Amino acid sequence: DGGITQSPKYLFRKEGQNVTLSCEQNLNHDAMYWYRQDPGQGLRLIYYSQIVNDFQKGDIAEGYSVSREKKESFPLTVTSAQKNPTAFYLCASSPSGGNTGELFFGEGSRLTVL
Amino acid sequence: AQSVAQPEDQVNVAEGNPLTVKCTYSVSGNPYLFWYVQYPNRGLQFLLKYITGDNLVKGSYGFEAEFNKSQTSFHLKKPSALVSDSALYFCAVRDISPMNRDDKIIFGKGTRLHILP
């Protein structure tokens, strides 16, 4: 079935460690997004990519990095520079080229820093 | 920049009663507006969208939303609530800026809907 797969679903990290969250889609969508969700704050955009080999910072990009080497994949690295990384991370994709903005979401990855 | 606001953190409705979840928007130009639903520890699911045309938009699971340009609102509604409608609901707007190639979706903070049996 087509969709978006995020892994791992749960992840624990020690302070000072980098960690990479995986996001893969087989929907043939051009655009991919990473959001962070914290209680009471809704979804905040970290990074997004409209096309392969190109990406833009969102509202809270500091302490995060991404790559878009393949259309299907948009991994997010949470670096040790991110001061408060414990959160629920959501990846999404959408078609582009006149698309009307509907996003398709993965099931999320919950990161806990110990 | 475009934005949406959800003024209520939580809404409680008795099962069988009509429900409304409020959303107001601030955009330049014509708005692209959306509603999404999230169940616990899951990703978001698309419910409906307004791009153009009829002000009353029908979506999944019996939900609908009314676009009101004069009040800059896009409230989510359902005539008869079910316990299974209990979830977190997000209003969203598409933020497009062709000059700097921005094209992204901005979400509100979410409203938790409790349907009481």
Is B101 near chain A, with CB under 8 Å? yes
**Which neighbouring-strand residues pair with B103?**
B96
* Amino acid at the residue A110: R
Across the interface, which of B90, B101, B102 has its CB nearest the CB of A43?
B90
B78: containing domain = 3-116
Give the SS3 label for residue B60: helix
Q: In this predicted model, what pLDDT tens digit does every residue of A47-86 receive, in sequence order?
A: 999 899 999 999 999 999 999 999 999 999 999 888 899 9
Contact check, Cβ <8 Å, A56/B44: no
Provide φ and ψ at A112, rounded to 5°: -125, 125
Are A100 and B105 inside 8 Å of each other by CB? no
Q: Residue window 25-84, chain B: list those with CB within 8 Å of chain A.
A: 32, 34, 36, 41-46, 49, 51
Q: Write the pLDDT tens digit of every residue in A18-34.
A: 999 999 999 999 999 99
Which pLDDT score is estimated for B101? Answer: 66
Strand partners, A104: A93
pLDDT of residue A96: 72
pLDDT in tens, chain B (117 residues): 788 999 999 999 999 999 999 999 998 888 899 999 999 888 999 999 998 888 999 999 999 999 999 999 999 999 999 999 999 999 999 887 766 667 788 899 999 999 999
pLDDT at A15 over 80: yes
Q: Give the number of A-B residue pairs with CB atoms closer than 8 Å.
A: 62
CATH number of the domain where residue B104 is located: 2.60.40.10
Measure in Å the smallest separation between the Cα of B45 and chain A Cα atoms. 7
Percent of chain A at pLDDT > 70 equals: 95
Q: Into how many domains does chain B fold?
A: 1
Residue with tokens 């990406």: A55
Q: Which is nearest to A64 in space by CA: A48, A89, A47, A43?
A: A47
Mean pLDDT (chain A, rounded): 91
B112, β-bridge pairs:
B10, B88
